[in-house]
Each structure stands twice: as structure tokens, then as C-alpha cells.
Amino acid sequence: MQQTDQIVVCGAGGFIGGALVAELRQRGFPRIRAVDRKPMAGWYQRFHDVENLVLDLQYRDNCYTALQGADVCLNLAADMGGMGFIEMNKALCMLSVLINTHLLEAARDIGVTRYFFASSACVYAGYRQNENDIPGLKEIDAYPADPEDGYGWEKLFSERMCRHFQEDFGIDCRIARFHNVYGPYGTFDGGREKAPAAICRKVINAQRSGDPTIEIWGDGEQTRSFMYIDDCVEGVLRLMDSTVREPINLGSDEMVSVNDLVSLVEDIAGTRLERRYNLGAPKGVRGRSSDNSMITRELGWAPSIPLRTGLERTFAWIEQEIRASTTVSSMVNRP
């Protein structure tokens, strides 16, 4: 990407999109347009020196408005959340296909030279993820296809759309399969949060309330890898400056069980809680982590921030937010 490029970040009011806009500003890119459908008061991060637009990108005309004059499109817009959300909202997740389809059409017609699509590890075949202790998933493991129902199918279909728009219309596409991104300025309650943020919130609330228990979805032995937000943003920008045109993993290869994740957060908080296992709750596949052979080979880099380090930063931020929310609530409700 060039300093003179008009860069459009779609989904900029979200967690990863907001962090990406912040980093682009930090690196001195002067022409940034941030687009999200949420009212600006609900954006995770917002900057006065960036062109901010509120547009629902499921609608075709809005995509043309968003990309007017653009050189680069970074598409992170999607209706998504943690496992609880995507298992209960499959139709909403599938409708995100409209965003990528209409953005690709607009990119073709307007002359966008480089296009990024944020895919997901949910595209990987479920039959390869039936055990807790499995090797990291390689990019070829998405086929034969058996992705997460709803959300995973939308991401896999949208990957193919990017591929064919690249082949047929010459749009230079980059695709990253995100593996569980977490960090400050992310969702930590309300039903869309992912495991690291949810566990941090549960531990903090247990300490504040004096309740010595924590609910864990499933048996806690399911395994995942979790990537800190700084590694995610760095990976996206490195990928944009590369020649990699195939989907690539962007995630940590530090695989842990959910029980291990809880223990790490307990250590950070200086507490121990009694664990209650909700075996009927959404829990996803048994095991998943990222094989980083391809990203290391192609970019000479891979996500490296240790889980403990990222969790410490995330825990501190969520604790601060909960304290601030409690303070404001008590002031509002004061007699």
C-alpha cells in the first residue's frame, strides 16, 4: 500500500476494524475512510481525523458510496460473534455474504487495486477437528468442505468469490483466516464475546461479587489457539504488502484447552474459582489451532505474542471498563 492510497476499512466500528484504523493512522496513512453500520456512538474506536461513514454494507448502493475513489478496500464487515452467537444466528451470519458480494462488485467497477477479505478458521472441515489434541490446521484442510454451519459456509463461499473476482476481473485479493482474535477494545459481554474476554469478565465479576464459582461451556477440554489483536493487525498489513493470493492462516499456534485458559486468567487475577461445567452450552469443535508453516514461509513472520502477555493486557482493560461502568451506574442511580 502507498501513502497516497485512499484506504477504506469496512467494519471499522468493530473490534479488529477499529484497531486496524488506529494502526494505519499511527503509520502515517493520511487518507483513511472508516465505514460501519453501527451509529458512531457504538464504534469501538473512532478518530476525528478519519472520514467516518455510517452505512449498512449489505446494500449494494452503500458499497459504491463506501468505495468511491478508493484504491484499497479492507473488508472486515460481518455479523458475527463468539460460538454462542454464531450457533444461534446462522441466517444472520449467512447474510454477510451480501457485504462481500456487493463490495467486490463495487471494487471491480470503481477500480480498487487491492482488496482484503477477513475470513475465519471456521471454514475448516469439521471432520478434521473431532479430537482435543490435533495438529494445527493447514490451509489445505478447508477441503473437502465441511465448515461451521452458517458462519463458516459464508466465509468459505466469500473466499471463492474473491478468488473468482481476482481471476475474472483482476482485483488483487488477499484473504486471512483469523483464529480467535482477542484484546482490549473488544466485546466482553452481551452475547457476542469470545472465550478470552468472556472468561476475563466472569473471573472479574466473581471476585467483585464474592461468588466463588465460574461457569464453563462444555467440559473445558476442548482446545483452541488465541491471537492477540496486535499480531492480527500486523499480519493483515504484512499480507497486504505481500504477493500471497491464496487464503492464509492468521493465528497463534499456541494451543490450550479452555480449562488452561481459565487457569491463566485465574493466575492473573490471583484467585481460584470452583468450576461448573455447562455441557449443554454451545462449544464448537473439539480441537483447533493454526499451522503457521505457510505464513512463516511466505511472510517471514508469524504471530508471536504469548497468550499470557495478551491476557494480562486484556484482563486489565476489561477490569477497568467494568469498574468505570459500575461507577457511572452508581452515580446515575444515586438517590
DSSP line for 202-262: HHHHHHHHT--EEEEETTS--EEE-EEHHHHHHHHHHHHTS---S-EEES---EEEHHHHH
For residues 137 and 157, give the distance between their C-alpha atoms in angstroms, rounded to a whole number: 19
For residues 229 and 20, give the distance between their C-alpha atoms in angstroms, rounded to a whole number: 9
For this structure, is 124 an active site residue?
Answer: no
Please provide residue 16's backbone torsions phi and psi, each rounded to the nearest 5 degrees: -70, -40
| Residue 22 neighbours by CB distance under 10 Å | 18
Non-local (6+) Cβ contacts of 163 within 8 A are 173
Pinpoint the alpha helices (H) of the chain.
Answer: 15-26, 60-67, 83-88, 90-94, 97-110, 151-169, 195-209, 229-240, 258-269, 293-299, 307-332
Find the catalytic residue in 124, 151, 182, 228: 151
What are the catalytic residues?
151
